Structure 1
């Protein structure tokens, strides 16, 4: 079984996949089509170093990564075994759903563009931040967040691996949590993000996103995609509700992937970077992992698929 891991926000880096864009017509067309749908110069955003700050912004980053992920999937889909599933990190769930065919590419792009704009607006209206806590007990982190809740909205945003928990919320509350955890001897790493995603800070935009999601005619996909908030397979009749709740809900990437570990032969990061395959290796250091975001990595992956 192959696990397809669809990248989340923060994985972007200027220049990634440029060699694919310049040499593979299929990928070139996906990026150019996305630029037309999004109505901004996506190739420039992805490959021009002068646009690095724009690429990092939520409203541009989210549709950019979805377009990259969808385009990369087109390069390997015919070589994949029948037995496969998808897991996405936050916006990566939209990429996975588009790749599987639960939603068409153009609709997915417009959805994630709307989501990115809403999330950026929420971040700008409420000063917030996020921090990663290393080698901490989840119950202990939740208890510290509860103690700090009087200072404002805060919560556990992500449980990425057994060794990494991310908290987020209004700045004063996060500062208190960081102070308390450091005093308890925990290593805490501030994250460079524009806002506290998957926390109550995003609650004000849930209604607007839900309205947009309700316009989608969700379909059954060609491979199952699993929610990192519920660990259950996404279904057409519950997708709108699940993706609305996803905005303010904790994501459990490690737990979701671990449920399939017994039958897992390899994982492929479908998108920029290697964040998710590094998370996967925290669960199983011997797991075969592959990437797609350059010509050399794509060729390695395609060669491995011939063997599998």
Structure 2
């Protein structure tokens, strides 16, 4: 035991101003990461991340690379203070940051891929407006039944798109069907149904039409074998080769997130401490529900980052 995993958040964790506390501590990273990202993508990603407006930042073609960039800068700051992961995993979009942390992808290649991922999903959402929601308080079997009933009744798609932990199932699909599912879930006894800021029908069959184009981008990008243990949120199991990483990312568009299994896999490998490396606090909360005895650290603010690095320094000094 006593092993640490860095876990990286996904879509919905974006907020205007994310990363400012990181650059206050490491202003050199403006040049290394933010200006490079602007040049690579040809958009003012650094300005949109730190200053918004929120409506632009919520566009998946912007929010996805912005979240990735913030996570990578967090990783750099943590490593600069001697905090290193023994293993990594990422929730959906966060898997790209995990791949960079594990040495599988160059960060600029990851940035290009997530930008394309966001653009392609946006084209689907333009044609068929989609939505994503988290259903709390019902088991996944019940949610799957409700999805099937709503789809049959409306002729529209709504599917399970993620297992986030005990009693929290994510659904995705056409907006009208997700709205209908929300009502059905409440009637079935759900304690809460919360629409998520996903920006499209992620992890659903509605994205099958963009799989080929995105897979082509993946296979023309250089992938390497992981240098440290890497667990995929697509399979819930460890990724050991570059080829496996490509297959996981290709399937990620239409397959549900298996976050419970990913966290359990990390626990089985001896991980008992998790660092949420990136914006937001949602992922840490999910980890606590799945692994209640694990220690969970955040990096979402200057105070949380200081507490996290301080905890590791204190642990190191007692070894």
- On whether the aligned pair clears a TM of 0.5, the verdict is yes
**5 Å matches for 1:147-296?**
147-150=149-152, 151-187=155-191, 188-234=193-239, 235-261=241-267, 263-296=270-303
Measured after TM superposition, the shift of residue 248 of structure 1 is 0.6
The equivalent of 2:308 in structure 1 is 301
Matches of 1:294 and 1:26, distance apart in 2: 18
Matches of 1:251 and 1:38, distance apart in 2: 27
Measured after TM superposition, the shift of residue 191 of structure 1 is 2.8
Superimposed CA distance per residue, residues 21-66 of structure 1 (whole angstroms, 9 cap, x where no aligned partner): 23413432222221221122222111214x2211111000001111
Answer whether contact 1:198 1:246 (CA < 8 A) is retained.
yes
Answer whether contact 1:26 1:71 (CA < 8 A) is retained.
no
Measured after TM superposition, the shift of residue 258 of structure 1 is 1.8
Instruction: Please state whether the residue corresponding to 2:247 is helix, strand or coil.
Output: helix
Answer whether contact 2:162 2:170 (CA < 8 A) is retained.
yes
Matches of 2:305 and 2:120, distance apart in 1: 34
Number of aligned pairs? 306
Matches of 2:135 and 2:220, distance apart in 1: 38
**Residue 141 of structure 1, aligned match among 140, 143, 157:** 143
Measured after TM superposition, the shift of residue 4 of structure 1 is 0.7
Unaligned runs of 5+ residues in structure 1 are none
Instruction: Please state whether the residue corresponding to 2:238 is helix, strand or coil.
Output: coil
Aligned-residue Cα RMSD (Å) equals 1.8
Q: 1:221 to 1:25 in 2, by over 3 A?
A: farther
Matches of 2:299 and 2:183, distance apart in 1: 39
Measured after TM superposition, the shift of residue 286 of structure 1 is 4.1
Measured after TM superposition, the shift of residue 241 of structure 1 is 2.2
Measured after TM superposition, the shift of residue 94 of structure 1 is 0.7
Matches of 2:157 and 2:212, distance apart in 1: 18
Unaligned runs of 5+ residues in structure 2 are none
Matches of 2:4 and 2:28, distance apart in 1: 23
The equivalent of 1:33 in structure 2 is 36
| TM-score between both structures, scaled by the size of structure 2 | 0.90
Superimposed CA distance per residue, residues 288-307 of structure 1 (whole angstroms, 9 cap, x where no aligned partner): 22222333322222222221
Answer whether contact 2:203 2:252 (CA < 8 A) is retained.
yes
Matches of 1:256 and 1:19, distance apart in 2: 29
Answer whether contact 1:27 1:72 (CA < 8 A) is retained.
no
Matches of 2:265 and 2:34, distance apart in 1: 33
Measured after TM superposition, the shift of residue 181 of structure 1 is 2.1
Matches of 2:283 and 2:212, distance apart in 1: 30
Matches of 1:244 and 1:113, distance apart in 2: 15
Answer whether contact 1:268 1:289 (CA < 8 A) is retained.
yes
Answer whether contact 1:154 1:200 (CA < 8 A) is retained.
no
